[in-house]
Amino acid sequence: MPFHFNPWEEKGIGPRTGSLATPHGKVATPAFMPVATRGMLRGISPARVRPLGGEILLSNAFHLAARPGVEAIQAMGGIHKFLGWNGPILTDSGGFQVFSMGASSRIHDGGVQVEHPVQGGFLDWTPELAFRTQASLGPDIAMVLDVCPPRPGDRDEVASAVKRTLSWSRIQADLHRARGGIESGQALFAIVQGGTFPDLREECARALLDSGFDGFAVGGVSVGEGHEAMMAGVDLSIPWLPPDKIRYLMGVGAPRDLVEAVARGVDLFDCVFPTRSGRFGTALTWKGRLHLLNARFKADPSPIDPDCPCEACASGVPRGALRAGFQSKELLPPILVSTHNLHFILDLMARMRDSISAGEFEELRARVGKAYPAEPVSVG
């Protein structure tokens, strides 16, 4: 079987480890996916990802279809060749991206008219087109096109999103089965919507289960709400998802959010947070966030984190030099801090896997909670 998820702990809810088998290799879970939205990791070479602990990447089908286009990627050998990555790849359908465009998006029952990000004019991004695009790109895992409501507390808006999400998901499930399902070499994951409403989350999850998807994502979170509201969306979704299928929390990558979601039974994550924070001078450490542009670091001779073994910290480039480099708009500081941050997050995932297996997860959870409380703190 080209795709299979094996959870080591038979848990419906709670932290668990597992192994995700794909046509391009296995992934130990819980796992974090570095993001190459437009086919390129920002500030990190693909060759550096595995030494940092990464086993799977994420890219975005909508943006790749816009540039360079599906045919161009196929001509280069498919998405794995395009990303320069021979491991597993998941592609997002672009649902969040098109709906985050707000006024430029026009939703209808058959899809969404969205402004083309390269050519201008409007593109009708439909469930069928999202499915065909991902089938042609060739990732190991494709996501359904869903409706991501911008206001998860607006019941009418969320109910409408659930209705369209289910309609579109059935279309894509039928296309997936007609293509051979996971035997085609590609898995298809559904996305649970429902905002902050328990009955809508249950309705969406139950209906998706009937369509036989290969995995499930919790959607409609990480859209600007706080940590507690985000976890509420997870709490309302996870109980309805089968324990033998992988669970993916979309767009989440801050340390506290990762640990708390794993505590609730989530297996897979993605986010631009580690590399984006690094590009803007914020480093993640076990003592909290370091805002390296702060004046206190002007003459600091320490590396990013003296206790970190990553390449960026081992280089010995001082915090003060990084601060000066950021101010001068040099290229190296964002690369080094992004590399460190990605190492930190991937190391955190490995520590979570080890702590779950050793029965010590709660100790790690408390440590992360102390370093990253609900309101982030800086250390110096």
Sheet holding 111-115, edge to edge: 105-108, 111-115, 122-125
Active-site annotation holds for 270: yes
Q: Which residues contact 260 (CB under 8 A, 6 or more apart)?
A: 227, 231, 365
- As a whole number of angstroms, the distance between CA 11 and CA 78 comes to 36
Amino acid identity of residue 327, one-letter, is Q
Active-site annotation holds for 347: no
Sign for the CA dihedral angle at 113, 117, 121, 125 comes to: negative
Pick the catalytic residue: 140, 270, 305, 307? 270
- As a whole number of angstroms, the distance between CA 250 and CA 279 comes to 21
Which among 297, 293, 282, 234 is positioned nearest to 260, based on CA atoms? 234
Q: Which residues contact 267 (CB under 8 A, 6 or more apart)?
A: 5, 7, 16, 18, 20, 29, 30, 31, 246, 247, 248
Strand 282-285 to 268-270 pairing: unpaired
Pick the catalytic residue: 92, 146, 214, 257? 92
Nearest 5 degrees, angle CA 165-CA 61-CA 73?
155
- As a whole number of angstroms, the distance between CA 309 and CA 365 comes to 22
Residues marked as catalytic = 92, 270
